[in-house]
Chains A and B, each alone.
Chain A
């Protein structure tokens, strides 16, 4: 579990409340607002770099992330090995490049699962109401009782230490936050005249939910998705640091940090520091983006 998650959950204790919602603005306006938030722009810049690295990196950079070279092991950063080499002589810079790609894909899947689940169940729960709503609420209550990180540990310990388990576990663990969020939105809009009218002319429920209600939740959902991405970065890294999920020799930021842990005390800092730094930058980018988006779409939440 990471601190960012705790922040979200901490706020959850009282935040089932309705939120005001800005209606769709024309593209230039939101871009201008976005631009005026310097921190958000910083996040976007970092993200763009990361995405670029992830997409073209492996093609541009020469070198094999898995190739070992025992003669050159534990070399500090120099002209040849920009980030130095690790215990078995692998080029850390190259490994970081590949790791960024892997981690980005992973967190996108995880956040995707959480967001989709959240939106779907949140819409259902909020719109249909009744027992279904109550059941879903109780389950989310229980699930929000403890953090995704621990849930993922529990699940991987039992179901097997592989990537799929980790991804699914985290995705499911984050979903309750999105469910709550979407449901709250739906509740404010469910009794609007618009929905009443649609119902009156016989529009089926699923249509109302998908075409009318869902787009209105989109902005806040996106902000939350960004935060999911931030949490995933930290949780996936944390899990692989503990040996769960990704395992060596696959280059992954968390496991790379773990590999370098024992060498810190002997002063070979580069093995852990670079991967960890990238983790932090990624999480920071997503956090800034998510916070910024949340500020824009829901100014009451400021601070």
Chain B
């Protein structure tokens, strides 16, 4: 029963945050002086302005606009992109799988490197290994993602010709497979098209590494910090006192008790990757929502930009909420 109360509280808070954020975005856009369309369109005749104003509903009183805005959102109507001339929601739906694929690979890669390194650093505190991981962490956190992407392209595409050209997910000469999961790598494999599969891997490898490089130092740090904390606890001493081998203890008790914190961060990072993909997708011309939004920015495609912000906010708050729920599941103390 108490568990239910905990969940209800968390959900309530999340919804409140979501509501607050969306309202904030609304006010941001609608209270600003000046007509937003005029700001965008250069060659506007008064008639045209009036027409579009009526079209966008901007001549209605503020509270009516707000209600329209909210009801549209709830129905999933994110407006229309004047660049693609389609519903923004549809554009997003089309492009989301690409971003997801990248984010998934990036996260997996960074967890695969970050967690083991973090464990090693924690177990061998203050050793040379520990210091190196700290250095890697600091450098990783300071490296601009877009620059790293460019460097990787230069070395692995231009010089070594190992990776594919940074022009999307699949070279022109291949046909896209039937979309099953939305992930190019998996779909080509499922379709049995090995050449296309190899090609898709060659395309995804550099952007995934770029994303992983960004995320990895954070995973590394949080793993190390949490593990150090956990390994200092009394129950670790108990386990050792009973004669359990240290290696086992680190992996059983150490990891188990650290996992929550690590996963929390991983979850937040995943959300960031989908959102922050703006930079990486631009560099690699990866057809995901990041590139879409970048193009929207360049073209002042207002509805698309707003949709991106809303969706990202939704994503963040959702991930936070999921993490809260997971805390309740994983840590029995929270339930009491």
Contacts and interface: CB of A to CB of B under 8 A. Distances in A.
B79 interface: no
Contacts of B24: 142
Contacts of B312: 146, 150
Interface stretch (B70-78, B133-141, B189-197, B245-253): B133-141
| B interface majority secondary structure | helix
Interface in B219-239: 221-222, 224-225, 228
Interface in A254-303: 254, 257-258, 260-261, 264-267, 269, 272-273, 276-277, 279-280, 283-284, 287-288, 291, 302-303
Given A153-B309, A276-B147, A303-B221, A159 B142 contact: no
Interface in B248-298: 264-265, 268-269, 272, 275-276, 278-279, 282-283, 293-294, 297-298
Interface stretch (A2-10, A104-112, A175-183): A2-10
Contacts of A9: 268
Given A234-B144, A265-B158, A265-B165, A158 B313 contact: no
A130 B304 CA distance: 40
Contacts of A237: 144
Q: How large is the interface on A (under 10, 10 to 19, 20 to 34, 35 or more residues)?
A: 35 or more
Interface in A223-263: 230, 234, 237-238, 241-244, 254, 257-258, 260-261
B241 interface: no
A154 interface: yes
Nearest to B227: A303
A238 B146 contact: yes
B276 A149 contact: yes
Contacts of A234: 142, 144
A267 B154 CA distance: 7
Given A1-B272, A284-B142, A244 B147 contact: no
Contact of A3 (B17, B218, B297): B218
Contacts, number: 168
Interface string B307-321: 001001100110010
Given A150-B276, A150-B309, A154-B306, 15 more contacts: A4-B141, A6-B269, A7-B217, A9-B268, A142-B20, A145-B21, A145-B316, A153-B278, A157-B305, A238-B146, A241-B144, A244-B297, A257-B144, A261-B283, A279-B147
26 contacts: A2-B214, A6-B268, A6-B269, A10-B218, A10-B222, A10-B269, A146-B316, A150-B276, A150-B309, A150-B312, A153-B293, A153-B297, A154-B305, A154-B306, A157-B306, A158-B29, A234-B144, A238-B145, A242-B279, A254-B144, A260-B150, A265-B165, A280-B142, A283-B144, A287-B142, A303-B225
Interface of B: 13, 16-17, 20-21, 24-25, 28-29, 32, 36, 39, 122, 134-135, 138-147, 150-151, 153-154, 157-158, 165-166, 214-215, 217-218, 221-222, 224-225, 228, 264-265, 268-269, 272, 275-276, 278-279, 282-283, 293-294, 297-298, 300, 302, 305-306, 309, 312-313, 316-317, 320
